[in-house]
């Protein structure tokens, strides 16, 4: 019997890598997809059931081809996660149109492309989970985060539409709000109070919870923060 597969788009050494490890612990084979995967191949070299794909998340045809390849060569897609990065901190009077547009695309288009490709694979089987990584910016936009707020708000709205359309057909669609900075070397260097940094392994546990929910009690939005909530 084929082993189920998780396809994670936008994997880096932080949250993305934690998601890979969490779902490998659940017994799924995992495709870790990113634009550049050399470091990922080194990171997961000891696990033959983690396969790294080089994929441009803004290229819909490339995402669809990668999902199709995973279905053919690895196993039926049980889970898809869009974990896009969308960053450009700048005052609203200074940010350029090109940067604003770039952040919007980076925040929304990977989820759009992955949802279309994953849903087409999952719908004939009538089951599957599609999850999106959001942020606090979509709930309360701060100074300098205007572009990111637009991108992540768009992602949240898209997740609601996808959940209402695909849920009755058996697909669990959910959106995870990461309410604060994720713990990493970079955020530790820039934040003196490390209690305000969110553990990426802990975030990954929230994704596991969503994926393993019974369909009679699905969550379509969940937020994660530390005990020392970011103001």
- Cα(7)–Cα(130) distance, rounded to whole angstroms? 10
Q: What does pTM read for this prediction?
A: 0.93
State in Å, rounded, how far the first CA of the chain is from the last one.
49
- Which domains are seen in the chain, by residue range? 5-224 (3.40.50.720)
Contact between residue 97 and residue 146 where contact means Cβ atoms under 8 Å apart: no
- Residue-wise pLDDT for 170-227, tens only, equals 999 999 998 877 776 676 676 767 777 889 999 999 999 999 999 999 999 999 988 8
Between 161 and 185, residue with greater pLDDT: 161
Q: How far, in Å, CA of 140 to CA of 127, rounded? A: 33
Query: In this structure, are strands 29-34 and 128-135 parallel, antiparallel, or unpaired?
Result: unpaired
* Residues 9-23: tens digit of each pLDDT: 999 888 999 999 999
pLDDT-derived band at 46 (thresholds 50, 70, 90) equals very high
Checking if the pLDDT of 108 tops 80, the result is: yes
Alpha helices in the chain (DSSP H): 15-25, 38-43, 60-73, 97-122, 146-166, 185-190, 200-211
For 149-161, what is the mean pLDDT? 92
User: Can you give the pLDDT at residue 195?
Assistant: 72
Q: What is the pLDDT of residue 13?
A: 87
Rounded to the nearest 10 degrees, how much is the dihedral formed by the CA atoms of 18, 115, 164, 30? -30
* CB atoms inside a 10 Å sphere around CB 199: 14
pLDDT of residue 115: 98
Q: Which residues pair with 114 in a beta bridge?
A: none
**pLDDT of 83 strictly over 80:** yes
The better pLDDT of the pair 65, 141 is held by 65
User: Is residue 170 a contact partner of residue 164, using CB atoms and an 8 Å limit?
Assistant: no
How far from chain centre, in Å, is Cα 87?
A: 15
Model pLDDT, residue 122: 98
Long-range contacts of residues 187-194, Cβ cutoff 8 Å, at least 24 apart: 193/228
- Is the confidence at residue 135, as pLDDT, over 90? no
Mean pLDDT confidence for 36-62 = 93
Give the tokens for residue 42: 């080194």
In this prediction, residue 138 carries a pLDDT of 66
Please work out, in degrees rounded to the nearest 5, the angle formed at the alpha carbon of residue 85 by the alpha carbons of 171 and 22: 55
Q: Is 27 left (phi over 0), alpha (psi -120 to 50) or beta?
A: left
Mean pLDDT estimate for the chain? 90
């Amino acid at each position: 019997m084929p082993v189920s597969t998780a396809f994670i788009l936008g994997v880096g050494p932080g949250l993305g890598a934690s998601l890979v490890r969490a779902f490998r612990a659940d017994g799924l084979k995992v495709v870790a997809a990113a634009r550049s995967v050399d470091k990922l191949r080194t990171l997961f070299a000891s696990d033959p059931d983690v396969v790294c794909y080089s994929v441009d998340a803004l290229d819909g045809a490339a995402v669809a081809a990668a999902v199709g390849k995973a279905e053919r060569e690895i196993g039926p897609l049980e889970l898809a996660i869009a974990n896009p990065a969308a960053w450009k901190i700048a005052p609203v009077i200074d940010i350029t149109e090109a940067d604003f547009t770039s952040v919007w695309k980076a925040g929304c288009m990977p989820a759009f492309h992955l949802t279309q490709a994953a849903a087409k694979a999952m719908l004939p089987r009538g089951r599957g989970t599609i999850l999106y990584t959001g942020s606090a910016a979509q709930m309360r936009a701060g100074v300098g985060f205007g572009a990111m707020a637009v991108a992540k708000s768009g992602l949240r709205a898209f997740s609601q539409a996808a959940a209402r359309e695909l849920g009755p057909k058996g697909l669990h669609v959910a959106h995870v709000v990461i309410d604060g900075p994720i713990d990493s070397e970079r955020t530790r260097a820039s934040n003196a109070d490390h209690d305000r940094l969110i553990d990426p392994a802990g975030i990954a546990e929230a994704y596991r919870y969503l994926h393993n929910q019974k369909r009679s009690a699905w969550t379509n939005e969940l937020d994660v923060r530390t005990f020392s909530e970011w103001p």
